[in-house]
Structure 1
């Protein structure tokens, strides 16, 4: 991309790495607008378990693309790409810098590289895959995906039935893997993008932060939040909102499918697995500037890019 393209900042990293705090500091020091890149933060009434920026944090640095969708609705990477590009243009038109902050790496990639036209869902193919999964189990279907498309297999959790099914469906319909079809540069973002990833040097530090944050969520009323969602009666574990990390585990506890201690353990493990998948994405990412969690020089490192 040429230097004539408008400037944008991508701030990425695993969950609990400190992205929100750094984004707020950027907002205080640059003429910028913060746009969330998080598939869980889009949902209303899901505040505690998603670690949504608090009212105070949003007052300090307003975040776009959070808290606007009912949990019964779905929101795709294509939806995000459309909405984020509109917000970025609005920011540029106002003479400001769009800052894209979040850990949903597929959204970052969709925005940066564009999306190929993926094949429409085929009910017959999807039903056949579902029947196969009923016979073999989803771990076996995930192993099948790993053989066909190891990159997608590394990113997708073995319990994420919808994404496994979709990735296999795309391959059966098109003969191409999901990874192949999402590597197009045809609709690449026409911006000069400064890309930063905030990652702790020691994985054990991140694990401790994840465990601490999960317990803090419980203290803040995470169980009550999920019970309110469950009481609606129109939500279930097959929906993207309830499949969010932590929510699925709490949902099972509410439905007496696990004990409280098991819910806590599984919630922390699932969050660690999410962080591992995010780090897998980042290790294969190009043009990244690496930052360390809780490093006071991170803000300076980003600001130096514009000096």
Structure 2
């Protein structure tokens, strides 16, 4: 086996310390190249609320797929698949080893399994479309479908609101691709030998404490000022995935006087804990993965060392 067949995955929930660990790995193993698997780190200007590595670290360690699109863009799972597979090929081409790091489990899944299916449902976006764009009028909803997906609109009745709404939602979630286009698009899984590691908490209460402390650190570091700067941009709104992300959504609502300051804090922490539970549920069901407790990170260093020793 040669280095062109090796890819490393490092998954884990929010606030468990994946980014710091990945930088440590990069220092120890120079052949490793870091690639972010995070649906929010792709956005420019979303720095504090995403706990993004510093500009200095990004430049020093070459983290890929960070700061690649403006927050006005809807960056889809399909966009990630195309960007990630391209970056992986480039890394391997130069004799390096891709280390994919992040907590967006859907992104890892499509790299492992490939996909010809549609993106998962997003209740928030679906509700926003129906309530604020179509004003709960099924004819208006169907007219939108006819414009964005004329092929599918001929196969479905206007009164089938559930399916019509899902088709319109797909257009928004996928970044402007219709249901008909996606059905025809088949993406293959990665053709490499993949070593998967999951960073999990040795004590969930410690992780939840870290979540609270981390968010208060974000507030102290200027999260409100960062979101206010985004709020001033007229082409940004809370329906966009960038602004609708945890921390930014709640601060946006605070700026709009829809939340008190304390409500903003409480809702952000609650949403983050909910996200972590969701991420851990994904990890529990994962296959072909080696779990590493967050208080035994040195074991991951040893395992990577063994992988390199046995394959190079």
TM-score range, shorter chain: 0.7 to 0.9
Q: For 1:305, what is the secondary structure of its paired residue?
A: helix
SS of the residue aligned with 1:69? coil
Match of 2:258 in 1: 257
Which residue of the partner structure matches residue 26 of structure 2? 27
Residue 177 of structure 2 is matched in structure 1 by none
**Could you tell me how far 1:12 is from its partner in structure 2?**
0.4
Cα offset, 1:298, TM superposition: 2.7
- Cα distance in structure 2, aligned partners of 1:291 and 1:305: 16
Decide whether aligned partners of structure 1 residues 36 and 264 sit closer, same or farther in structure 2, where only a CA change above 3 A counts.
same
What is the match of residue 280 of structure 1? 281
Return the alpha-carbon distance in structure 1 between the equivalents of residues 91 and 251 of structure 2.
38
Residue equivalent to 1:96: 96
In the superposition, the TM-score normalised over structure 2's length comes to 0.76
Name the residue aligned to 2:308.
306
For 1:78-93, what aligned pairs fall within 5 Å after superposition?
78-93=78-93
Unaligned runs of at least 5 residues, structure 2: 137-164, 171-181
Distance 2:117 2:277 in 1: 28
Contact 2:113 2:188 in 1 (8 A): yes
Partner Cα separation in structure 2 for residue 104 and residue 168 of structure 1: 23
> Where do 4+ consecutive residues of structure 1 move more than 6 Å?
2-5, 167-170
Aligned to 1:162: none
Q: Compute the displacement of 1:297 (Å).
A: 2.9
Q: CA, structure 1 residues 255+63, in 2 after alignment: closer, same or farther (shift >3 Å)?
A: same
Partner residue in 2 for 1:41? 41
Distance in 1, Cα, partners of 2:39 & 2:3: 31
- Specify the alignment match of 1:50 in structure 2: 50
TM-score (norm 1): 0.77
Distance 2:168 2:285 in 1: 22
Name the residue aligned to 1:217: 218
**Which residue does the alignment assign to 2:246?**
245
Deviation at 1:284, TM superposition (A): 1.0
RMSD over aligned Cα atoms: 3.0
Considering only CA atoms, is the larger Rg found in Structure 1 or Structure 2? 2
Q: How many angstroms does 1:56 deviate by?
A: 3.3
Q: What are the residue-to-residue correspondences of 1:117-266 with 2, within 5 Å?
A: 117-118=117-118, 130=130, 166=166, 187-266=188-267
Change (3 A) 1:287 1:280: same
Deviations 1:17-65 (A, max 9, x none): 1111111122122201111000100111110001111123224422110
Q: 1:72 to 1:28 in 2, by over 3 A?
A: same
2:291 is the alignment partner of 1:290:
yes
